[in-house]
Amino acid sequence: MIIHREKINYLIQSVSHAIDVLEEFKGNQEELGVTDLSKKLKLHKNNIFRILATLEARGYIEQNKSTENYRLGIKCLELGQAYIKQMGLVRQAKPILERVSKEAGETAYISFMRGSGVVYLDSVESSKTVRVISRVGLTLPPYCTASGKIHLAYLTEEERERVLPEELRPFTKYTITERERLVQELEQIKERGWAIDNEEYEEEVRCAAAPVFDYTGKLVGALSISGPSFRLGEEDLQQAIVPAVKRGAEEVSQRLGYTKSSS
């Protein structure tokens, strides 16, 4: 137990030192060397070198081979852009989620894909007593959720294979577990512009989702509506819920600068 606790403390300290190293580059236009960082952070040169080597291997730091000094790597830019996009997505989507949820009488979500899962960033819950439990903060499998299917539909075949697990595990008796059938549905989703989760992740819960694009025409998220299946029958989904998520997703896309010419 003591060994485990010491190990945790050591790992946290290491991460803290790595962040200290990265933050030293914040206000510096010039590159920094091992000696500079060692003096500024009061850490042994050997520690600095190891931290830099680790960050360099992951793309967060780059070394100028001619000077042997270091600068921030491309991964830092990617993280910054991801943060801006995510926060912009949530901010722009919030008032639309509120309106869509009120119109549909169900819970509305905004989500995006991270790695091999779909992350629910924000929601506006239904005011009805019986409603779907909030999924905000959860990472769910993409192949059995409406939002996830939206993201999968816009991936290339190669990207999709990297994201999907080897075996499509059934969560309910309605989960699509045959790859060929899933691919066929994803093709239809991309063509029509919306997706359905017909109790595929959770029994007695149905969901519809539509894609959100940014000013470059890139898919950056999905807007969805979820509700108990006894309220969201086939007719309700097709006539009310699907049109609502499509309108909502289109409006969020417009707020992010998307136009038909962007795609």
Residues 65 and 124 in one domain: no
Number of structural domains the chain divides into: 2
Report the half-sphere exposure of 163 (CA within 13 A, side-chain side): 23
> Does position 29 have pLDDT exceeding 60, yes or no?
no
Average pLDDT, the chain: 86
**In the structure encoding, which two tokens stand for residue 263, read together?**
């795609």
Give residue 31's pLDDT: 87
Give residue 180's pLDDT: 93
Confidence of residue 51 (pLDDT cuts 50, 70, 90): very high
Residues 94 and 131 in one domain: yes
> Does position 39 have pLDDT exceeding 80, yes or no?
yes
58: helix, strand or coil: coil
Share of the chain above pLDDT 90, in %: 44
Asked if 70 and 63 count as a contact pair (C-beta separation under 8 A), the reply is: yes
Q: What is the pLDDT of residues 119-166, one digit of tens each?
A: 888 888 776 666 666 677 778 899 999 999 999 999 999 999 888 988
Position 77 in a domain? no
> Does position 116 have pLDDT exceeding 70, yes or no?
yes
Which sign does the torsion angle of CA 222, 134, 93, 216 carry? negative
Position 225 in a domain? yes
Asked if 176 and 185 count as a contact pair (C-beta separation under 8 A), the reply is: yes
Residues 57 and 133 in one domain: no
Structural domain ending residue among the three candidates 72, 92, 118:
72
Asked if 50 and 13 count as a contact pair (C-beta separation under 8 A), the reply is: no
The residue range of the domain holding 128 is 82-262
Structural domain ending residue among the three candidates 38, 72, 106:
72
Structural domain ending residue among the three candidates 54, 72, 90:
72
Give residue 151's pLDDT: 96
> Does position 201 have pLDDT exceeding 90, yes or no?
yes
Q: What is the pLDDT of residues 210-252, one digit of tens each?
A: 999 988 899 999 999 998 888 888 888 888 899 999 999 999 9
> Does position 174 have pLDDT exceeding 90, yes or no?
yes
The alpha-helical segments, DSSP class H, found in the chain are: 2-23, 34-41, 45-57, 74-104, 146-153, 157-163, 179-192, 234-236, 242-255
Confidence of residue 195 (pLDDT cuts 50, 70, 90): very high
Residues 25 and 112 in one domain: no
User: What is the model's pTM?
Assistant: 0.68
Distances (CA, A) of 196 to 58, 159, 176, 208: 37, 21, 12, 5
We report the CATH number of the domain holding residue 97 as 3.30.450.40
We report the CATH number of the domain holding residue 62 as 1.10.10.10
Residues 11 and 99 in one domain: no
Distance CA 191, CA 207 (A): 19
